[in-house]
A and B are shown apart, each in its own frame.
Chain A
């Protein structure tokens, strides 16, 4: 096919894409570094025109879900796209653009748009030879900037790590958590530097600079000449100089390899000690908590980030960490680290010690400035440079972490370690070296992600600044303003990028500001101490989270428990809205494992079911890697409950309202028109998808049963249940694969706890359920047990079937329901066919707070409690058998199912009785219940059915959690 003329050259610009129709094929035209490229115009993920997308760094980003494609190769660079984009050969002649639909871009060798061959030195004569020492973010960006600024001569990038340039911020965040991999954090696409004709030598260290001869000596014995040199050697993690600092299990974090090692260590560890309460230390503590480990931070100073921030601001970060369970110890000098059995022990100078499975040292960095210092360049704690990046030798420049530069803030000089500095100051230096003098004068900007907050800082804080706060310090949307001499020197915003933009303008204007105009008030010096007055250390171990104390401070009805103690239960326990809300917060969303699904319901990747944790709708999903994930069924954008089907199979979850899309783990992968259209609208520039995923819950499974928790640091299920309850759990879930037989669902107009009580109340079974009694399934003389765990929250009501013949006349009289002579025509449906390794034919297990395991002889089911308010809940029943049941066993289970469920002979009676109880409380003020049976057992396990000790045990636990 001949070349087809598709556009005028002038219409294809570097900043964007042009969509054209070429004989029915939608084609996107791009211009990258002067040359034109053509790709198919429709994203391979979902239908969207890439010509509406965002072009940057030789890639086009789909406007719909931010799939990223390399324009030259069509390669899909990021999720959610996995299929590459078709490319077409393109060329320019006589001011016109031509495309050949029959050939892809790579097949047109020798066309004018091809990049110059990448051999360094091949065109050495064309210009100066620029050499960059250090292949990190600064080095890579400088190399790119040199070429983009028009430098035609050779460029050589030398790095001592054997890694292509990568960005470091994810090392202490996504890479630790495993939500990003090493390829996703590269500074540039793999072919970017070769295509720019930049030579790269990795795994090679520069050992000396001969400034007179303009020659570098390399660790491999070779030498390299330069006309101009850029030193971007970065910094290294400072090491502890104490015995044991180099033991296995003691980590530092600076390189990709160290991050991967630390990530693995955090996942394996239960207890982490972080030495140093700087940003890196706090981020590592955050990652550790997220991964379920205990985290203790040891800091020599008295507040976090003491060298950088005023103490009051540091304490805000401390509080945030403490609320998430991080323990701090301040004023601690490390004396030694020792091996202690399988773990480590950190010995402090004051004689105390902290045990850990892994220790992470985050005590700052030291610039790699030896090369410069030995060459006689002026240095402080970094290499001194001017605003254009020039050192004391005009042929030598420095950039990134190693550079000590004049900030625009009152001319203060410092060394800045930030993504922004490594990026933009390096670009300025690179452009200057290429002949386009560029001064770097950006206001310092920095971000950190910790404990679910995106925290951004603008300006240059100093310890002496006065701190003002807008909002509740540390909460989303709050801002700390640091004022010095009547002007704003810095601002720290929590989940509020807009505040950072506003603050930047104020800082850059240098105009006087007062706190009132910022809507801010002085930050109390002891913000953190509100949780733990006077003792900032070890708060998390002992203290209630700060938000709880706020809840308690609100005016509210007085919840006074009756003086008689546990034998009385006041009605407000079951009817009060405030109590209910506190239950959701502290019980269902608190430290509990909540039943959500059976693994048998989601056997394959992409399978999902709707479920609930407390009242909160969640989705239980099996991801491509086989993992089970539980996340809120609430779009991170506008709260829409996006998943409406009861179950299904999906590749991703897309909220229908604005098409935000999430992967099978609940991570946000796509935001339509995130970049706006035609440069207008769209999300703030600093919007980061990883900060706006669905709320994800901790997940555990046992014997095919899936539990979820809002607490990220829940104890293992076995510890949560305790050995007795776990034993009964494993008697029912005995390892045979489960087979779901169907569902019942019903509402129940009663308080959710009444259902627990019903199953901790063996007294009722003999009296309410005539059916059971009549057929000898359960009578007062039967062998039985009411078992409680240590905490009192879980229970098992167990009994062994008898034939009814041993019921004494005296017992029969007491049980009015007992009906002599009542016989079933088809009694086989109440047969017990032994199949479990258990002395009990019936066990009813209550797993706090939302699960009941029904083993009523051979009819098996899980009941899930979904509270919808104090006066009503929904009960979801999942009835199951086992794979391998023969047809007769299956039908036996189904026939026996007539006992349970909202139409079951027993089930309907329980539902009715609970409704009666709730009705009885409606119109009687200040009522109370009497639960005094079996005074010999104050609370807990009882071997008589005529007991309410298990109910009392439950309320002992409930009261401790609820503070009533």
Chain B
């Protein structure tokens, strides 16, 4: 991976990596938008960290998250709990993820990137879809058996006031 970011790394390699991350994000959004919550944990490594937090907290270095998962177990617990136990009005969500921006490659074979996202929510009793969350993913990927997985995803949202409740993952 490291070579991709070297001066000698080819432009094509960089484009391919970005395309791969964009494909990843598209698949990730697809799983959530289609309500396949059980597939969502599969996008993460076993030691993954997943966080949804406000830009207010992120900028101030404050650690809390609306969702704070250490490890794939907690991510699976959340998917399970939301799907099986949580009470909320039915809704559709749609994730619009922008093109990834590659930041750097770590010596340990990780890749850091960001991508802006928009989550639209549609409730069944209103005609309009509302912008439920606007933010950016701050990601660290790792290749597991040749497949990109998220070792860390921080979803940092700009709209500090969450509209009522955030049910599904971002």
Q: Which of A746, A768, A890, A897 contacts B164 (CB under 8 A)?
A: A746
Chain B 138-170 near chain A by CB (<8 Å), digits 1 or 0: 000000000000000000000011111111000
Smallest CB-CB separation from B167: which chain A residue?
A908
A890 to B65, CA, bound (A): 13
Smallest CB-CB separation from B62: which chain A residue?
A742
Q: Are the CB atoms of A895 and B70 closer together than 8 Å?
A: yes
A571 to B33, CA, bound (A): 37
Q: Are the CB atoms of B53 and A912 closer together than 8 Å?
A: no
Q: Which of A740, A746, A824, A898 contacts B67 (CB under 8 A)?
A: A898
A119 close to chain B: CB less than 8 A: no
Q: Which residues of B contact A752 (CB under 8 A)?
A: none
A469 to B69, CA, bound (A): 69
Chain B 20-54 near chain A by CB (<8 Å), digits 1 or 0: 00000000000000000000000000000000111
A916 to B167, CA, bound (A): 15
A-B contact pairs, 20 of them (CB 8 A): A741-B64, A742-B63, A744-B66, A745-B160, A745-B161, A747-B162, A747-B164, A817-B85, A825-B77, A826-B71, A826-B77, A874-B161, A898-B69, A898-B78, A902-B164, A902-B166, A903-B165, A905-B85, A905-B86, A915-B164
Q: Are the CB atoms of A743 and B73 closer together than 8 Å?
A: no
B18 close to chain A: CB less than 8 A: no
B7 close to chain A: CB less than 8 A: no
Q: Are the CB atoms of A771 and B162 closer together than 8 Å?
A: no
Q: Which of A819, A890, A891, A907 contacts B84 (CB under 8 A)?
A: A819
Q: Which residues of A contact B69 (CB under 8 A)?
A: 895, 898
Q: Which residues of A contact B67 (CB under 8 A)?
A: 898, 903
Q: Which residues of A contact B70 (CB under 8 A)?
A: 826, 891, 895
A901 to B162, CA, bound (A): 10
Q: How far is the CB of B156 from chain A (nearest CB, A)?
A: 12
Q: Which residues of B contact A916 (CB under 8 A)?
A: 89
**Contact-residue bracket for chain A:** 35 or more
Q: Known: A741-B62, A895-B70. Contact between A911 and B165, CB under 8 A? A: yes
Q: Which of A646, A768, A824 gathers the greatest number of chain B CB atoms within 10 Å?
A: A824
Q: Which of A770, A822, A874, A902 contacts B66 (CB under 8 A)?
A: A902
Q: Are the CB atoms of B77 and A824 closer together than 8 Å?
A: yes
Q: Are the CB atoms of B85 and A894 closer together than 8 Å?
A: no
A892 to B170, CA, bound (A): 23
Q: Are the CB atoms of B74 and A912 closer together than 8 Å?
A: no
Q: Which residues of B contact A819 (CB under 8 A)?
A: 84-85
Q: Are the CB atoms of B163 and A825 closer together than 8 Å?
A: no
A834 to B68, CA, bound (A): 22
Q: Are the CB atoms of A912 and B87 closer together than 8 Å?
A: yes
Q: Are the CB atoms of A912 and B164 closer together than 8 Å?
A: yes
B56 close to chain A: CB less than 8 A: yes
A829 to B54, CA, bound (A): 22
Q: Which residues of A contact B87 (CB under 8 A)?
A: 768, 770, 909, 912-913
Q: How far is the CB of B2 from chain A (nearest CB, A)?
A: 31
A932 to B2, CA, bound (A): 68
Q: How far is the CB of B109 from chain A (nearest CB, A)?
A: 26
Q: Are the CB atoms of A903 and B166 closer together than 8 Å?
A: yes
Q: Which of A743, A774, A913 contacts B56 (CB under 8 A)?
A: A743
Smallest CB-CB separation from B89: which chain A residue?
A912
Q: Which residues of A contact B84 (CB under 8 A)?
A: 819, 822
B3 close to chain A: CB less than 8 A: no
Q: Are the CB atoms of A825 and B76 closer together than 8 Å?
A: yes
Smallest CB-CB separation from A902: which chain B residue?
B162
Q: Are the CB atoms of A746 and B162 closer together than 8 Å?
A: yes
Q: How far is the CB of A612 from chain B (nearest CB, A)?
A: 13
Q: Are the CB atoms of B64 and A742 closer together than 8 Å?
A: yes
Q: Which of B62, B66, B167 contacts A901 (CB under 8 A)?
A: B66
A346 close to chain B: CB less than 8 A: no
Chain A 783-817 near chain B by CB (<8 Å), digits 1 or 0: 00000000000000000000000000000000001
Q: Which residues of B contact A817 (CB under 8 A)?
A: 85
Q: Are the CB atoms of B66 and A903 closer together than 8 Å?
A: yes
Q: Which residues of B contact A829 (CB under 8 A)?
A: 74
Q: Are the CB atoms of B62 and A774 closer together than 8 Å?
A: no
Chain A 726-743 near chain B by CB (<8 Å), digits 1 or 0: 000000000000001111
Q: Which of B56, B73, B74, B162 gathers the greatest number of chain A CB atoms within 10 Å?
A: B162
Q: Are the CB atoms of A894 and B161 closer together than 8 Å?
A: no
A915 to B125, CA, bound (A): 13
Q: Which of B54, B64, B85 contacts A822 (CB under 8 A)?
A: B85
Q: Are the CB atoms of A744 and B54 closer together than 8 Å?
A: yes
A746-B164, A829-B74 are known contacts; what are 14 more A-B pairs with Cβ within 8 Å?
A742-B57, A742-B63, A743-B56, A743-B57, A745-B160, A749-B164, A771-B81, A822-B85, A898-B67, A905-B86, A908-B86, A908-B167, A911-B165, A915-B89
